[in-house]
Amino acid sequence: MSETNTVPVRKKRIYSGIQPSGMLTLGNYLGALKNWVAMQEEYDGIYGVMDLHAITVRQEPAKLRQQIYTTCALLLAIGLDPAKSILMVQSFVPAHAELAWILGCYTQFGELSRMTQFKDKSQKHPENINAGLFTYPALMAADILLYQADLVPVGADQKQHLEITRDIAVRMNNLYSGLFTVPDPYIPPAGARVMSLQDPAKKMSKSDENVNAWVAILDKPEDVMRKFKRAVTDSEARVCVGEGKDGVNNLIGIYAAVTGRTAQQIEAEFEGKGYGDFKTAVGEAVVETLRPVREAYDRLIADKGYLMSVYKEGSERAARLAARTLAKVRKKVGFVLEDK
């Protein structure tokens, strides 16, 4: 009997990142992090703590360093498994900065000027509209293209950055064939844009000064409940998706993302019930989702040695993968080669 020759299929590769710029929110969790974990079996995942990106906004050094540790601990607490995925720190792999410079020379001023994140952050920090904030997308493109990623799981706000990454990849491939894999975004069907609980026209953001507007992944259960009970809704008192019902739409979206139910099932569940019952149910479901994360986090943050070993080893593995792409790029653009 002849043996069938099975050729191992290369798993598709994922790259994604998060900035260590503060306490991570329920928006970060539902829009991005939850999917990183869900996808780690099927894909070959590399996940970064993006400290180079974080300094596009002024950070306090001691606080930033602490946030890099807490972000790493949180990523492990939500279930990222270093045996399955790579966890890296962006500044540990200098290839990111090097490729960002090269890609920046193939990115147009006009393209960067159209980025809504640049416009938003310039408005928010008028005293510090720095060059890094402007060229941010070239660094993000470098993060992704260095690893020849097929898929990038992000929240809906990052769609424009994925589009410019694809444009840069296609442009470089047209000039120097076969250089980069052109990545696709993965934006989840529920939870891709979690809105502020106080102003549901705005994205939930960790930098919002009103603490009732956002839920941190590490918030205590009583704080989570309080924030949901105070969430802004409307005067209609009907739990259903609708125009002009941004607050309720947002709560339905959050409930759908944490329970896996559809909007129709949720509307049926709360038929004839008021917003009080609904808000309590959403709060409780979020508390139960976050409880195991908080417990695991408390254990992990106490063991700094372990944390450091994980991101150091992950960054070394990432650096070896990144070096291959960078060598190819250096050769194609015409730099002199080390061995010739």
Which active-site residues does the annotation give? 121, 203, 206
If binding is defined by CB under 6 A, does position 154 make contact with ligand LTN? yes
Query: What DSSP character marks residue 199?
Result: -
Q: How far apart are CA 298 and CA 160, in angstroms?
A: 35
The residue (of 103 and 162) whose beta carbon lies closer to ligand ATP is 162
If binding is defined by CB under 6 A, does position 154 make contact with ligand ATP? yes
Task: Give pairs for 66-71: CB < 8 Å, separation 24+.
Answer: 67/20, 67/21, 67/22, 68/20, 69/301, 69/304, 69/307, 70/20, 70/301, 71/18, 71/20, 71/24
If binding is defined by CB under 6 A, does position 155 make contact with ligand ATP? yes
What single letter denotes the amino acid at residue 117? Q
In DSSP terms, which residues pair with 16 in a beta bridge?
A: 47
Closest distance between ligand ATP and the C-beta of residue 122, in Å? 13
In DSSP terms, which residues pair with 18 in a beta bridge?
A: 49
If binding is defined by CB under 6 A, does position 247 make contact with ligand ATP? no
| Per-residue contact flags (x/-) with ligand LTN for residues 92 to 131, judged by CB under 6 A | ----------------------------------------
If binding is defined by CB under 6 A, does position 229 make contact with ligand ATP? no
Q: How far apart are CA 26 and CA 205, in angstroms?
A: 9
Contacts of 334 (CB under 8 A, 6+ apart): none
Q: How far apart are CA 173 and CA 167, in angstroms?
A: 10
What single letter denotes the amino acid at residue 311? Y
195 close to 201: Cβ distance less than 8 angstroms: yes
15, 21, 147, 148: which one binds ligand ATP (CB under 6 A): 21
Joined tokens for residue 206: 């960790």
125, 206, 226, 229: which one binds ligand ATP (CB under 6 A): 206
If binding is defined by CB under 6 A, does position 140 make contact with ligand LTN? yes
15, interface contact from ligand ATP, ligand LTN, none, CB < 5-8 Å by kind: ligand LTN
Q: Which stretch binds ligand LTN (CB under 6 A): 136-144, 243-251, 253-261, 287-295?
A: 136-144
If binding is defined by CB under 6 A, does position 16 make contact with ligand LTN? yes
If binding is defined by CB under 6 A, does position 14 make contact with ligand ATP? no
Residue 57, phi then psi, degrees to nearest 5: -120, 140
152, interface contact from ligand LTN, ligand ATP, none, CB < 5-8 Å by kind: ligand LTN
Closest distance between ligand LTN and the C-beta of residue 163, in Å? 13
If binding is defined by CB under 6 A, does position 158 make contact with ligand ATP? yes
Contacts of 340 (CB under 8 A, 6+ apart): none
246, interface contact from ligand LTN, ligand ATP, none, CB < 5-8 Å by kind: none
Closest distance between ligand LTN and the C-beta of residue 98, in Å? 15
Beta strands in the chain (DSSP E): 13-18, 44-49, 86-89, 151-153, 184-186
Q: Which stretch binds ligand ATP (CB under 6 A): 198-206, 224-232, 281-289, 331-339?
A: 198-206
If binding is defined by CB under 6 A, does position 74 make contact with ligand LTN? no
140 close to 206: Cβ distance less than 8 angstroms: no
Binding site for ligand LTN (CB under 6 A): 15-17, 19, 50, 53, 140, 143-144, 152, 154, 158, 161
Interface positions with ligand ATP (CB under 6 A): 18-19, 21, 27-28, 31-32, 154-155, 157-158, 192-194, 203-207
